A = this chain, B = another copy of it.
Amino acid sequence: MDSFLSKKADLPCAALAPLVPDANGTAGGEPWFDLIELMFFAYRDFVGDADQLLENFGLGRAHHRVLHFVNRRPGLTIAELLDILKITKQSLNRVLKELLDTDYVVSHPGANDRRQRQLFPTARGKALALDVARLQSKRFSRVFAQLPEGARSDAVDFLLAIVDAGERDKVAAMVASDRTAAHAGTKR
């Protein structure tokens, strides 16, 4: 990491400016177009899996995100979900209502605080969430089958490092804890 940064300090003149962006990102270095574009292409095809499967059920990407996190963290409250998705409660409410109406998710008054709603996947919801997750995992299986040994762990480190510093701990905790298997929160 030292040599990574020292590349630029050693350079004698501006004409031989570093080929990487400065630490502050604003100066002479060429931006990293390759990574910027690969984020676009990789995400496009990654979410394409889910989109394609979900359209058979009349559900969109927004429904899937809600269902996914409810399935992963059974008992999640509305406020927690809003904090994860970073959308407004009005936006959430529209898709959540549809998931409740179509019996993919159920809500119960909070155990401690009855103002809260705790969300749980139904058996149907769990099945669908798992189907999509498996389809997406299939893509990752293909990915790591063609990459060297430590690639999976490196990928986790890379993606986590991209996340905003203020969110990183929260995200790391969520991603690490495997609540799905633990409390099988299927209700109704």
Chain A interfacial positions (CB closer than 8 Å to B): 1, 3-5, 20-26, 29-46, 48, 65, 68, 72, 86, 130, 133-149, 151-152, 154-164, 167, 171, 174-176, 178, 180-181
Contacts of A34 in B (CB 8 A): 156, 175-176
Q: Which B residue's beta carbon lies closest to that of A37?
A: B175
Contact B33 A180 (CB under 8 A): yes
Contacts of A37 in B (CB 8 A): 68, 72, 171, 174-175
Query: By DSSP majority rule, is chain A's interface helix, strand, loop, or mixed?
Result: helix
Contact B134 A45 (CB under 8 A): no
**Copy total for this chain:** 2
Contact B161 A32 (CB under 8 A): no
Contact A1 B41 (CB under 8 A): no
Give complex CA distance A180, B19 in Å: 14
Contact A41 B181 (CB under 8 A): no
Expressed in whole angstroms, the minimum distance between the Cβ of A24 and any Cβ of chain B is 7
